[in-house]
Chain A
Amino acid sequence: MKPFRYERANSLASACASASEPTAKFIAGGTNLLDLMKLQIETPAHLVDINALPLGGIEETAENGLRIGALVTNSALAADMSVRRRYPLLSQAILAGASGQLRNKATTGGNLLQRTRCPYFYDTTKPCNKRAPGSGCAALHGLNRMNAVLGVSDNCIAAHPSDMAVAMTALEARVETIAQDGATRTIPIDALYRAPGDTPNIETVLAPGELIRSVVLPPPPAGRQIYRKVRDRASYAFALVSVAAIVAHDNNRVQAARVAFGGLSYKPWRSADAEESLSGATLARASYDAAGAAALKIAHGYGHNDFKIPLARRTLRAALTEATGTI
């Protein structure tokens, strides 16, 4: 690990000011950052520990939603009774990720900002535009089984690894931040992540020193919430494909549906095409397959990950079948 200056921030203002230097990083749970620092993929000269800041707690909002502090651990969020009763999708998604030990440290803000687990991002002997801009993408023609099939570019085909963020995307969460000058803003979670394009090293719209304070969940939409994850092991593995689905239906038809995929793109992939296809559709396998076809219409495989496209369609079908209680 490269040497760094360590500072325990005691106010939001000082934290944002300290972290606005280009070589500075916030640290909260540290479960991803420290791993990357050991491998010298991340080499911050200055670590700003935000654990003493008042960014904990889960509270109800005026609109009857929830405000989740950025420092709320994944464990605490998944175990929170109002989350379990009203946003079971979020609980399920968090519990589908990592291990008990990691969830006890990992935070809400940190989970959103975790880096890809693309093997070439981790292998410092290989080109990677995300790690070393301009060096190329070794995954493009490499072992890209875990990589993305939607919304990426030839400069980077890394997939976002979070489960939590997939559920939050389906729930239309909003990310609240504070900047160095004290300015606050609210970013819809779907607009937090930047497409790789020519600059895959820039992953979010956050400015240097801009800190996630909280994540706001609007009141949950009507309908059954399902998180379905497909992975190589029964537990403790990143998703090959995951689906967050919220489906409201009557006896015959889908009234409204929300669909977001994990493991397919640089961000949780909300599919307006699938949702449109499902709106008013009959509760039948053909409808779910049509939604899957619509969602993956523009998908592009890179060889080893071609299987993700049919797997995503089938996972969506399974999630919708479960959500609607139909066969």
Chain B
Amino acid sequence: MRIKPRQYLASLIRQLDHITVYLALNLGIAVEKILPFLSLLSRRHFLGTAGAVTLAMASRQVSAEAVAEPGSRHDVVLTVNGWRRSLDLDARVTLLDVLREHLGLTGTKKGCDQGQCGACTVIVNGQRINSCLTLAVMHAGDEITTIEGLEEGGNLHPMQAAFVRHDGLQCGYCTPGQICSAVALLAEHNAGWPSYATADVATAPSLTDAEIAERMSGNICRCSAYPNIVAAIRDVAAGGRT
């Protein structure tokens, strides 16, 4: 894929900003204080999430005081979207809360927080999981991909582009989870996995609309954009435009 110089520069600046924010978070400096050091590109983004980040830092202090139990905090290195992040975590924190509240990656959404809606779907070691039903401390060494990590060189992932093209959303809240789920679904299908919709589980089924619907049943869309979601996935599965 050819990368345009302007996109490359933008991506480079964003990466520098990420390093700055990363260092600040690890040194315990609030994001608001380092805003002047960030590019205009990122300032708006972090202004939006600064509240969440500050809140997360405050809650970290509160929970640290509340927890008398020894050994309940852990140094964990997580690899998120290719970045290694060192974190000091309460053992109770879910992967979802770490992504959103500690790393500022608010693309992954909290819906039901009990594994029923799929809004929190992320890809761990190539497999989609509900990030709300797993502890962050259990993911040291794992490769975690969130919606923010799907883009390739500043371009939308083909599945993101297909969701836009087919209007596979209305309010958009479930969309990051839908897209992560759909990306992993294609990998599962390519590996020949059967589903409940597969008539003969000993065969590798073709990806019919019924197969897509069954395989996406862990992602609920209250706006009911299902027909367009299925169309987007069908398009990418068939090698659609990228």
Binding site for B on A (CB under 8 A): 1, 3-8, 27, 30-31, 34-35, 38, 45, 47, 49, 51, 75, 78-79, 81, 84-85, 88, 91-92, 95-96, 98-102, 104-105, 234-236
Partner of B194, one of A8, A30, A84: A84
Judged by a CB distance under 8 angstroms, whether B92 is at the interface is: yes
Judged by a CB distance under 8 angstroms, whether B106 is at the interface is: no
Judged by a CB distance under 8 angstroms, whether B11 is at the interface is: no
Instruction: State A27–B115 Cα separation when bound (angstroms).
Output: 17
Residues on A with beta carbons closer than 8 Å to the beta carbon of B214: 234-235
A83 to chain B, nearest CB (A): 8
| CB-based contact A31/B115 at 8 Å | yes
Judged by a CB distance under 8 angstroms, whether B160 is at the interface is: no
Partner of A96, one of B94, B128, B196: B196
Nearest first, the 4 closest Cβ-Cβ pairs linking A and B are: A99-B218, A235-B217, A6-B91, A236-B217
- Residue ID in chain A nearest B91 by CB atoms: A6
| CB-based contact B193/A30 at 8 Å | no
- Residue ID in chain B nearest A104 by CB atoms: B127
| CB-based contact B133/A4 at 8 Å | no
Residues on A with beta carbons closer than 8 Å to the beta carbon of B202: 81, 84-85, 88
| CB-based contact A5/B69 at 8 Å | yes
| CB-based contact A35/B114 at 8 Å | yes
Residues on B with beta carbons closer than 8 Å to the beta carbon of A5: 69-72, 91
Instruction: State A34–B217 Cα separation when bound (angstroms).
Output: 21
A91 to chain B, nearest CB (A): 4
Instruction: State A105–B217 Cα separation when bound (angstroms).
Output: 16
| CB-based contact A105/B70 at 8 Å | no
Residues on B with beta carbons closer than 8 Å to the beta carbon of A234: 214, 217
Judged by a CB distance under 8 angstroms, whether B44 is at the interface is: no
Judged by a CB distance under 8 angstroms, whether B174 is at the interface is: no
| CB-based contact B92/A3 at 8 Å | yes
| CB-based contact A92/B138 at 8 Å | no
A-B contact pairs, 12 of them (CB 8 A): A1-B92, A5-B69, A6-B72, A6-B74, A34-B135, A35-B133, A49-B138, A51-B138, A100-B215, A101-B181, A102-B218, A104-B128
B164 to chain A, nearest CB (A): 23
Partner of A91, one of B69, B133, B201: B201
A95 with B91, Cβ < 8 A, contacts A6-B135, A6-B137, A100-B185 known: no
Residues on A with beta carbons closer than 8 Å to the beta carbon of B70: 5
**1/0 per position for B197-223, CB-CB distance to A under 8 A?**
010111000000000011111110000
| CB-based contact B74/A100 at 8 Å | no
Judged by a CB distance under 8 angstroms, whether B67 is at the interface is: yes
| CB-based contact A79/B194 at 8 Å | yes
Residues on B with beta carbons closer than 8 Å to the beta carbon of A95: 194-196, 198, 201
| CB-based contact B118/A99 at 8 Å | yes
A101 with B134, Cβ < 8 A, contacts A79-B192, A85-B202, A95-B194 known: no
Instruction: State A107–B121 Cα separation when bound (angstroms).
Output: 18
Most buried by B among A3, A49, A51, A85: A3
| CB-based contact A102/B115 at 8 Å | yes
| CB-based contact B72/A105 at 8 Å | no
Residues on B with beta carbons closer than 8 Å to the beta carbon of A78: 193-194, 201
Residues on A with beta carbons closer than 8 Å to the beta carbon of B213: 235
| CB-based contact B128/A100 at 8 Å | yes
Instruction: State A79–B190 Cα separation when bound (angstroms).
Output: 12
A75 with B193, Cβ < 8 A, contacts A5-B69, A30-B135, A101-B218 known: yes
Judged by a CB distance under 8 angstroms, whether B130 is at the interface is: yes
| CB-based contact B185/A34 at 8 Å | no
| CB-based contact B127/A6 at 8 Å | no
Judged by a CB distance under 8 angstroms, whether B113 is at the interface is: yes
